[in-house]
Structure 1
Amino acid sequence: MGAFEELIEEGRAADVTGWDFSWLNGRAAEERPGWGYARLLAERLRSASASLDIQTGGGEVLAEAESFPPVAVATESWPPNVAHATRLLHPRGVAIVADPDEPPLPFADGAFDLVTSRHPATIWWEEIARVLQTDGTYFAQHVGPASAFELIEFFLGPQPEARQGRRPEVEAAAAQAAGLEIIDLRTATLRIEIRDIAAVVYLLRKVIWWVPGFTVDAHLDRLRDLHRRIEADGPFIAHSTRHLIEARKPASGALT
């Protein structure tokens, strides 16, 4: 078996459960935003009375917090992640709710004073506003526009329409339309280095919306092309985009 085939099998065999990317250590690296989302999230959790983390993945980011409010809930749709998050967070008093990531959220109006999310795939602003208490806040880190598109377009070709999605100013306008007041909005563009083809296979198996329907067999020719490019030129460089967004639910009629 040659180097390409060995790397392909490594990426194919890797466990992609949860939202921990430590398997990529030494194979790929991504810059992190300077604001430190996990630290800021932990600060807000300390002062909350009831929190909801939407699309928690395997719960790894939420679990970095030192403490949780008296009521702490997280939702997740993918069954392996639900099981992983349950094992990680239940012992710490966080309830995990299996939810399809579609409206409505399975909670009463005004149930939480803090709603959070890191890299939600979908954002239902009306539901976020509904489950927030008056003066409650939504605090999240979102994936921004054209994130990792150098890699995505290597497999799919140009995606001009998709490049227009996830723009922070559009999301902020949608939040305001749902009755929320924007408190903070920050953006970052970050460098990604992918050092071998096993990392590519792992990423495309794990982040399934990047190249929908990805399988090694169906994309073997492009994987081989990318392997040769990395071997010849060094790490494949892409860029991720992120934005930090914080919004408050004002009293009815208070939003201007």
Structure 2
Amino acid sequence: MLKDQSFENYLRDIEKPFSGWDFSYITETDRMSSSLLSWSYGSMILPLIQKSTSMLDMGTGGGELLSKLQPFPEKICATEGYPPNVPVARKRLEPLGVEVYQIGEDDVLPFDNNQFDLIINKHESYSPNEVLRIMTDDGIFLTQQVGGSDYVDINNALCAPVNDEFSHWELAYAEKELCENGFEVLEAKEEFPIQRFYDIGALLYYLKAIPWQVPDFKSKNYIAQLYKIHEMIQLKGYFDVKQHRFILKAKKN
């Protein structure tokens, strides 16, 4: 194993810097790609922004997506709960007029009642009651979520434990939860696209960015499994894992 220089070189990719929610190091070099969804989160947002006067982006990451959705409504805010992302988001978004708030709890948001007529949320947890509280009566909530079976193939390939805490998190559960908390669901879809890694280094870089997938992940603890995936990629050309995505558009009932 130690004589495989390409494998040893790929192991160093986990040391590459990562900030915000920017995967260009492996996406723009075609080392990782994803199959397409039947919907476009961004394309669904744009016409909603044009009709909006006050907007909130929940879980903005480093502000990468939000910064590309201009022009913004008069009032626009963003939240982020992952501390390392907050300064990245503020540096990118505040010059564009976006107020960025660091938050700790989903059910305690620093906003007044009935404040936003558009609330968007990509891959961020939320409290239905709190979203309802800060929405205007004619407001829209649009969220794309990561389902509970997301990337389980990675855990299985590494022989790592699977976190069952979110195994229930799927479209049917989320839709029912919204309806039980004062929402009317307008659109709902769920799909399982494939994410493809073309080298083991790209997978390691990605695992660094999503530390919740394999908590306390260290390459040295999974060398045998990583090398097995590396050999499979050398033979087959890629390593595929299944994602889990669903989208919900809702208004107050």
Residues 57 and 77 in structure 2, CA contact (< 8 A), matched pair in contact too:
yes
Q: 1:38 aligns with which of 42, 62, 68?
A: 42
Gaps of 5+ in 2: none
Per mean C-alpha deviation after superposition, the further-off stretch among 214-223 and 96-105 is 214-223
Match of 1:79, SS state, is: coil
The answer to whether 1:71 aligns with 2:75 is yes
Q: Distance in 2 between matches of 1:163 and 1:73?
A: 28
What are the equivalent positions in structure 2 for 1:116-195 lying under 5 Å apart?
A: 116-120=120-124, 122-157=125-160, 159=162, 161=164, 164-195=167-198
Question: What is the TM-score when the length of structure 1 is the normalising length?
Answer: 0.90
Contact 1:156 1:211 in 2 (8 A): no
1:28 aligns with 2:32: yes
Root-mean-square deviation (CA), in Å?
1.8
Distance 1:160 1:51, change over 3 A: closer
Residues 1:158 and 1:84: Cα distance change in structure 2 (over 3 Å): closer
Runs of 4+, deviation exceeding 6 Å? none
Number of aligned positions between the proteins: 248
Deviation of the 1:161 alpha carbon: 4.1
CA distance in 1, matches of 2:92, 2:111: 22
- 1:145-192 Cα shifts (integer Å, max 9, x gaps): 412221122224574946733210100111111111111101222121
TM-score (norm 2): 0.91
Please give the alpha-carbon distance, in whole angstroms, between the structure 1 residues aligned to 2:195 and 2:48: 29
Determine the structure 2 residue equivalent to 1:254.
none
Question: How far apart in 1 are the matches of 2:134 and 2:207?
Answer: 33
Give, as a single letter, the amino acid of the residue that structure 2 aligns with 1:39. Answer: S
Moved more, 13-22 or 69-78: 13-22
Which residue identity is paired with 1:208? Answer: P
Asked if structure 1 preserves the Cα contact closer than 8 Å seen for 2:159 and 2:225, the reply is no
Q: Determine the C-alpha separation between the residues in 2 that align with 1:117 and 1:20.
A: 17
Question: Shift of residue 222 of structure 1?
Answer: 2.2
Match of 1:51 among 50, 55, 73: 55
Distance 1:48 1:105 in 2: 20
Contact kept? 1:146, 1:164, Cα under 8 Å: yes
